[in-house]
Amino acid sequence: MTNLEIYNNAFKEAFEVDEAQLAGLEYQGIAAWDSVGHMNLIALLEDAFDIMMDTDDIIDLSSYEKGKEIMAKYEKNI
Amino acid sequence: MVDYGEILNIPPYSMQREEKHSFLTDILKELSLFHYDNCPEYKRVIDGLGVKLSDITSFCDIPFLPVRLFKEYDLRSVGGENITKTMTSSGTTGQQVSRIYLDKETSANQTKALTKIVGSYIGSTRLPMIILDTSAVVKDRKMFSARGAGILGFQMFGRDKIYALDEAMKLDIEGLSAFLEKHSGEKILLFGFTFMIWQHFYEELKKSGYRPDLSNGILIHGGGWKKLADKKVSQEEFKCLLNEVCGIQQVYDYYGMVEQTGTIYMECECGHLHASIFSDVIVRRPHDFSVCGYGEKGLVEVVSILPASYPGHALLTEDEGVILGEDDCPCGRKGKYFSILGRIKNAEIRGCSDTYADKFR
């Protein structure tokens, strides 16, 4: 799997959304991406990429696009 | 509006008295004016008091609302379509609960402030985390009780978390020992509410004889002391007895409320509660609401720079407290440090820990 596929799968699994809904997706933009959903997403990303994110990055991950920038900090280029 | 992005990056215990005073006055005054323009009920209160907000030169002069007002009125300063989360206070059956309306930004700022405050105590590395509560509390995702909000807020500091209690509030000894085995030798974060910890963790451990090794643990707990004070358990004894059953050494109490989520007051190594730069405590004399001196007991007012979606930036609580000093705690943190002495007589029972404990009478 490519990094993009791993990244997308985490979102799809966390929020039960389709590939087509990912672009532009934002925190609080859909019911499933609330604070509980957010921590689920973080857990899925951390497991899939085998990384541990800083609390600041967890807070900053406010959109699908922003998350890609943050993953780059952990050497996961998407 | 207030630029929270910049502000929340300032180290939370870095400002001395005068600097903090003008910093808070500017922000809280701006917030008051915003709520005045956007919350009709708030405007009525201010007009009724005859206060001219633009003339205010100290945040101590900003009119405070009694916390009870949030039970009786739906107070908010943004349109309903912008509300993403509603938080409710803990209340015993039959008590009316407060409703606090949050928009996206206010809610995000609460999380950020909490992260800065707690992070300054435990560091930025996330730790394996034991939540001394049941996952059932966070089931309803749109409506958070104060208990659920506390748990969710603190989850940010954990990785690989476990709830120590099952849905029937029974201690999951098997799960706990497997978790501790997996993370043996690591620093562990524990979070819970004071009375729940006492009733379902301490008492259960004492009964069962199981002695988990939590000598590497850091416990953060809050939610009210009243019920333990009734049982004649002091803060010192609480720490001591917990240490006896699980070896834990680092135990921090915190003071906070759902009406000002995020800006909590953490206990330091010297046993004092500390105000961060994001909020402050003013103790007032009950007969005329004038400001008490250091060491003088009175009613606690809390101010916080975070409430933007609802007019909860200056609130009179029903707690009694005392300011112990300012800028000179031996722990090195700047700002006021204080103690909470309990609730005023005839106050309602509140607090996550105490309302729950009410069932055990």
Compare all CA atoms of chain B with the CA of A31 and give the residue at the minimum distance: B142
pTM comes to 0.90
In this prediction, residues B284-296 reach a mean pLDDT of 96
From the list B104, B119, B126, which residue is nearest A52 (CB)? B126
Residues B144-200 have pLDDT tens digits of 677 888 898 898 899 889 999 999 999 999 999 999 999 999 999 999 999 999 999
User: What pLDDT is recorded for position B321?
Assistant: 97
User: What pLDDT is recorded for position B94?
Assistant: 61
Query: Which residues of chain A neighbour B104 with C-beta distances below 8 Å?
Result: 27-28
Kindly provide the b/e burial profile for residues B55-69, where b requires at least 16 CB atoms within 10 angstroms of the residue's own CB. ebeebbebbbbebbb
Cβ proximity of B44 and B145 under 8 Å:
no
User: What pLDDT is recorded for position A28?
Assistant: 85
Q: What is the ipTM of this complex?
A: 0.80
Chain A within 8 Å of B119 (Cβ-Cβ)? yes
Closest CA to B245 of B289, B277, B198, B314: B198
Query: What whole-number distance in Å separates Cα of residue B115 and Cα of residue B257?
Result: 16
Higher pLDDT, B17 or A35: B17
**pLDDT tier, A41 (very low <50, low <70, confident <90, very high otherwise):** very high
Closest CA to B110 of B224, B222, B4, B220: B4
- Assess whether pLDDT exceeds 60 at residue B348: no
Give A 26-65 residues with CB within 8 A of chain B: 27-28, 34-37, 39, 43, 46, 52-56, 58-59, 62
CATH topology assigned to domain A3-18+25-73: 1.10.1200
